Structure 1
Amino acid sequence: MSMPLIGPVEQEPKRPRRRAARVLAVLAGVLLVAGVTGAFWLGSTLYGFFSHVQQVPQDADPGSQHAAAADRPLNILVLGVDAGAGAGEPSAPQRSDTIMVANVNPTTGRVGLLSIPRDTRVAIPGRPHPEKIAHAHAYGQAEGGPGAGAQRVEETVEDFLGIRIDYFVEIDFDAFRALVDAVGGVEVCIDKPMRYTARSQNLRIDLKPGCQVLDGEKALHYVRYRQDGDIFRIQRQQQFLRALADKVLSMQGVLKLPQLASTLGSQITTNMPASRMLGLAALLPRFDLDRLEMGILPGRPGYVDGLSYWLVDEAAARREAMKILAGVDVEANAQVRLEVLNGNGRRGAAGQAADLLRSLGFRVVTVGNAERFDFATTVVVVRPEDTAVADRLRQALAGSAVTVRVETAEDLPEGIDARIVVGADFTGTAAGTATAAAGREG
């Protein structure tokens, strides 16, 4: 009698399916538990950090409402001060040793970092004559409570560069040491012996040339050394910060988060709300170190009344701020001649667009009405060979129009390089673009 074949043939495929289903169910359960555990771990870590950070209230400012937009780029003033200068507010006011402005764009993941030499000669609010910008922190600290030093630097930078600072973050030297030690040190290549002693600061620097991993103390010596000039020191600081950021954002750095949170929290002073810090922390995976652009405020060394300064032309400083922080090259834009036409019929739309483009350096030579008012989207028209100009204009208008369509035409008027037809999607504001954070809003 022959063996029945139907049963075995039908049943064999079912076992793998049931096994696969069980494996998938177990895997899903593991991932779910891991996800919940990871979320709890990250949440508790961030809570521990925020609960230790020394927060000071933000000044009541009508412009501060703009900072509430989650997708708007932020200008953050970053200050490095001697131990105790921020958190402890010592009886002897401290000057800021490091001054940087970071522009963080949550939408694009771009970060711009502009370093301001500590000897930059500027007008400090409340002082009769221009002084070194590093003095601003000491003056504010002497006159106010926690965070007053940083707030005075913030006011100084806003007036000097013509930008709005949304928040400040003040980090003392102890926090810097702890951060470097927590990630296991940072590798740098030193090109020359670095030796310096300052007994008044209890500082003795002795670093040998060569590639090496620096611990927190040696790293602090590396970024503070300035015997070859403040500009070389800033260049070292920027190189080190890039390497440190890469280490912190690595898996090894992420695993150190709990240690970092408990160590750094008490040594940081800021006026950034916890909700904003949490939002930026959640966006960390979006930020790309390859898109980190760094620059130094342009100027030259010089003397005024026998004192050495970093002398800066204010107009040049503002152009550099726009370029580094917002990614806007004002000098290059000045070569582009524009015709701006109202294509949506809304009164003043072309004028608003023209004002926005002028603020970014573009030369608007004509403002008027299009032949019709039924343009749903904003259109940029360039000659076929000017696609690079189209890309810059599209970037400039990205936060002001939902869609920017590019077209080419051979018959543009002789005196213009591009035509902008303002569509119904134009909002009339630069909110949401990098330029909104770079330009100060009145």
Structure 2
Amino acid sequence: MRYRDGEGDIGRIQRQQQFMKAVFNEVASPTVITKIPAIIREVSATIETDLSTSEMLNFAQILNDAYKKGLKTDMVPGKPAYIDEVSYWLPDLMALRSHMAKTLDVKMEDKYVTASRIEATEYETSIPKEMKVVEVPKAVQQPKVPTEANKSKQSEKSDAAKTSNNQQTTSGSKVRVEVINASGSADAGSKAAAALRSQGFEVVGVSTLTTPYPNTVIISNSTSSSVLNKFSGLPFKYKLQVNKDEDAGTQATVVIGKDYLK
């Protein structure tokens, strides 16, 4: 399980998954599942737990149901890294949270996505400089063959997106932004919104995050130079992060951090 592997953590994870599947299949097999009540009685006499016998029997039933449906394993999305030949696994926080939301059938709200991007950026900047990160190429996916109906829908969506982007990025038009106050100061959000409006931005909303962030970050949902150029000359310091998202309701999100107060 824990011997040195040329594939590092990836190899160990694969062995652990194989081991857990083998244990699961053995424990949930018909020859063992019928003996679980007796096993629970024996085990409960030798360990200290706040679980009742009926609760432990319920777990056995869950185990049996899971066995019938099959055991699915997942791997935390990320990439391998090394320090002095010691293997580490760096999680991709955005991909992980997106995967969990999809698994649990939960919609990620815009505020949560923004907060997650900030945390992911802070995490990446905290990685030690001596750590060698191995970039893993993304798997090449076979393109889906569109049906005639899908072709029509995709064409309409593409035309609508182009029209919207052209309207939003026309030189001289206002850039739509959302302000999120994560500075810890109640009035910092409204002050920043006023400063942005004075620079010609259209502020569509101001909200507050209870968790403060150290740095002010502007997350641009557009890669258009006509949008990005308008952020130059703002009367406060910020870090710019570009994350193309054509489905976003605004062209940028301005997260006000504690450094705004200095």
**TM-score for the superposition, normalised by structure 1:** 0.21
Larger Rg: 1
Q: Which has the higher contact order (CA 8 A, sep 6+)?
A: 1
**Higher strand residue share:** 1
